Amino acid sequence: MTDSLDQTVAKLQAAAEAAEKAAHSAQTYADQLAAAASAGTGGAIDPFVFRLAIFALAVFVGYYVVWSVTPALHTPLMSVTNAISSVIVVGALLSVGVAAIDSGSAFARIVGFIALILASVNIFGGFMVTERMLAMYKKKG
Protein backbone atom coordinates (compact mmCIF):
# COMPACT_ATOMS: atom_id res chain seq x y z
CA MET A 1 0.00 0.00 0.00
CA THR A 2 2.79 2.41 0.90
CA ASP A 3 4.70 1.56 -2.27
CA SER A 4 1.74 2.39 -4.50
CA LEU A 5 1.20 5.63 -2.56
CA ASP A 6 4.87 6.56 -2.99
CA GLN A 7 4.65 5.74 -6.69
CA THR A 8 1.54 7.89 -7.04
CA VAL A 9 3.23 10.79 -5.26
CA ALA A 10 6.27 10.42 -7.50
CA LYS A 11 4.07 10.43 -10.60
CA LEU A 12 2.22 13.53 -9.38
CA GLN A 13 5.51 15.31 -8.73
CA ALA A 14 6.74 14.38 -12.21
CA ALA A 15 3.49 15.66 -13.74
CA ALA A 16 3.77 18.91 -11.77
CA GLU A 17 7.35 19.38 -12.99
CA ALA A 18 6.29 18.71 -16.59
CA ALA A 19 3.44 21.23 -16.28
CA GLU A 20 5.83 23.80 -14.84
CA LYS A 21 8.26 23.26 -17.73
CA ALA A 22 5.41 23.61 -20.26
CA ALA A 23 4.20 26.83 -18.64
CA HIS A 24 7.74 28.20 -18.64
CA SER A 25 8.15 27.26 -22.33
CA ALA A 26 4.86 28.96 -23.22
CA GLN A 27 5.87 32.13 -21.34
CA THR A 28 9.28 32.08 -23.02
CA TYR A 29 7.62 31.67 -26.43
CA ALA A 30 5.24 34.57 -25.74
CA ASP A 31 8.15 36.73 -24.62
CA GLN A 32 10.08 35.84 -27.78
CA LEU A 33 7.08 36.72 -29.97
CA ALA A 34 6.64 40.05 -28.18
CA ALA A 35 10.36 40.81 -28.49
CA ALA A 36 10.32 39.87 -32.18
CA ALA A 37 7.36 42.18 -32.81
CA SER A 38 9.13 44.97 -30.98
CA ALA A 39 12.39 44.39 -32.85
CA GLY A 40 10.68 43.91 -36.20
CA THR A 41 9.03 47.31 -35.97
CA GLY A 42 12.11 49.07 -34.66
CA GLY A 43 10.67 49.35 -31.16
CA ALA A 44 7.42 50.93 -32.36
CA ILE A 45 5.32 48.14 -30.79
CA ASP A 46 5.70 47.71 -27.07
CA PRO A 47 5.65 44.03 -25.96
CA PHE A 48 2.79 44.85 -23.55
CA VAL A 49 0.70 46.21 -26.42
CA PHE A 50 1.46 43.09 -28.44
CA ARG A 51 0.27 40.85 -25.61
CA LEU A 52 -2.81 43.02 -25.12
CA ALA A 53 -3.63 42.67 -28.83
CA ILE A 54 -3.34 38.88 -28.57
CA PHE A 55 -5.66 38.93 -25.55
CA ALA A 56 -8.21 41.10 -27.38
CA LEU A 57 -8.15 38.78 -30.39
CA ALA A 58 -8.62 35.76 -28.10
CA VAL A 59 -11.66 37.43 -26.54
CA PHE A 60 -13.29 38.02 -29.94
CA VAL A 61 -12.48 34.54 -31.21
CA GLY A 62 -13.78 32.98 -27.98
CA TYR A 63 -16.98 35.02 -28.19
CA TYR A 64 -17.76 33.93 -31.74
CA VAL A 65 -16.82 30.31 -31.07
CA VAL A 66 -19.03 30.04 -27.99
CA TRP A 67 -22.04 31.77 -29.54
CA SER A 68 -21.90 29.62 -32.66
CA VAL A 69 -22.23 26.37 -30.69
CA THR A 70 -25.40 24.45 -31.45
CA PRO A 71 -27.71 23.62 -28.49
CA ALA A 72 -26.89 19.91 -28.81
CA LEU A 73 -23.23 20.62 -28.06
CA HIS A 74 -23.94 23.03 -25.23
CA THR A 75 -23.95 20.46 -22.41
CA PRO A 76 -20.57 18.86 -23.31
CA LEU A 77 -19.10 22.33 -23.76
CA MET A 78 -20.31 23.34 -20.30
CA SER A 79 -18.74 20.19 -18.84
CA VAL A 80 -15.39 21.12 -20.37
CA THR A 81 -15.77 24.69 -19.11
CA ASN A 82 -16.44 23.38 -15.61
CA ALA A 83 -13.31 21.24 -15.81
CA ILE A 84 -11.22 24.25 -16.87
CA SER A 85 -12.72 26.32 -14.06
CA SER A 86 -11.82 23.61 -11.57
CA VAL A 87 -8.19 23.92 -12.68
CA ILE A 88 -8.49 27.68 -12.14
CA VAL A 89 -9.81 27.01 -8.63
CA VAL A 90 -6.75 24.89 -7.86
CA GLY A 91 -4.45 27.67 -9.10
CA ALA A 92 -6.41 30.27 -7.15
CA LEU A 93 -6.18 28.20 -3.98
CA LEU A 94 -2.43 27.95 -4.47
CA SER A 95 -2.25 31.71 -4.99
CA VAL A 96 -4.34 32.39 -1.89
CA GLY A 97 -2.17 30.02 0.12
CA VAL A 98 1.13 31.65 -0.77
CA ALA A 99 1.18 33.24 2.69
CA ALA A 100 2.73 29.98 3.88
CA ILE A 101 5.60 30.63 1.49
CA ASP A 102 8.06 33.44 2.16
CA SER A 103 7.70 34.91 -1.34
CA GLY A 104 3.91 35.34 -1.09
CA SER A 105 2.56 38.85 -1.52
CA ALA A 106 -0.72 40.41 -0.47
CA PHE A 107 -1.49 41.24 -4.13
CA ALA A 108 -1.19 37.56 -5.13
CA ARG A 109 -3.52 36.55 -2.33
CA ILE A 110 -6.11 39.18 -3.25
CA VAL A 111 -6.06 38.30 -6.96
CA GLY A 112 -6.13 34.60 -6.07
CA PHE A 113 -9.16 35.14 -3.83
CA ILE A 114 -10.98 37.05 -6.60
CA ALA A 115 -10.13 34.27 -9.09
CA LEU A 116 -11.37 31.70 -6.60
CA ILE A 117 -14.72 33.48 -6.19
CA LEU A 118 -15.24 34.01 -9.94
CA ALA A 119 -14.26 30.45 -10.87
CA SER A 120 -16.54 29.05 -8.18
CA VAL A 121 -19.47 31.09 -9.48
CA ASN A 122 -18.64 29.86 -12.99
CA ILE A 123 -18.56 26.22 -11.88
CA PHE A 124 -21.83 26.32 -9.95
CA GLY A 125 -23.57 28.34 -12.66
CA GLY A 126 -22.31 25.89 -15.26
CA PHE A 127 -23.73 22.96 -13.34
CA MET A 128 -27.07 24.73 -13.02
CA VAL A 129 -27.19 25.48 -16.75
CA THR A 130 -26.14 21.92 -17.59
CA GLU A 131 -28.86 20.47 -15.39
CA ARG A 132 -31.43 22.74 -16.99
CA MET A 133 -30.30 21.72 -20.48
CA LEU A 134 -30.49 18.02 -19.55
CA ALA A 135 -33.98 18.55 -18.10
CA MET A 136 -35.10 19.78 -21.50
CA TYR A 137 -34.32 16.36 -22.99
CA LYS A 138 -36.25 14.36 -20.35
CA LYS A 139 -39.69 13.07 -21.18
CA LYS A 140 -42.49 14.89 -19.44
CA GLY A 141 -45.29 13.07 -17.74
Q: Are the CB atoms for 130 and 78 separated by under 8 Å? A: yes
Q: Which of 126, 24, 39, 114 is nearest to 77 (CA)?
A: 126
CA distance 15 to 22: 10
**What is the pLDDT of the chain when averaged over all its residues?**
74
- pLDDT per residue over 34-52, tens digit each? 777 777 777 777 778 878 8
Residue, of 53 and 96, whose pLDDT is higher: 53
Domain boundaries, the chain: 1-68, 71-141
The gap from C-alpha 87 to its chain's centroid, in whole angstroms, comes to 6
Closest CA to 31 of 13, 4, 54, 1: 54
Measured over the CA atoms of residue 126, residue 128, residue 132 and residue 137, the dihedral's sign is positive
Gap between the Cα atoms of 22 and 55, Å rounded: 20
Express each pLDDT in 58-81 by its tens digit. Answer: 888 888 877 777 766 766 766 677
pTM for the model: 0.43
